[in-house]
Amino acid sequence: MKPEMRQKLAQLPFEEKIRKVGELIRLSRAVKAQRVREDASNYPQSGRSLPAAESNPKSS
């Protein structure tokens, strides 16, 4: 982001900035949740099957 844009954001009213922080937190949580869902669908039984698969690459 350009420094002028960042400076503009710095000059927003405090209430507005706190609302934006809230949005950043929501976004960050949504991204994390999405990542967890993707991991779960890519490795549905990762807890048990991965170690076996890793220890014997020919097994998959």
d(CA 51, CA 47): 8
* DSSP secondary structure string for all residues of 23-35: HHHHHHHHHHHHH
- x-or-dash pattern for another protein, window 4-43, by CB under 8 A? --xx-xx-x-xx-xxxxxxxxxx-x---------------
| DSSP run (H or E) holding 8 | helix 3-10
Closest CB to another protein among residues 15, 55: 15
Closest CB to another protein among residues 1, 58: 1
Q: Does the footprint of another protein cover residue 2 (CB under 8 A)?
A: no
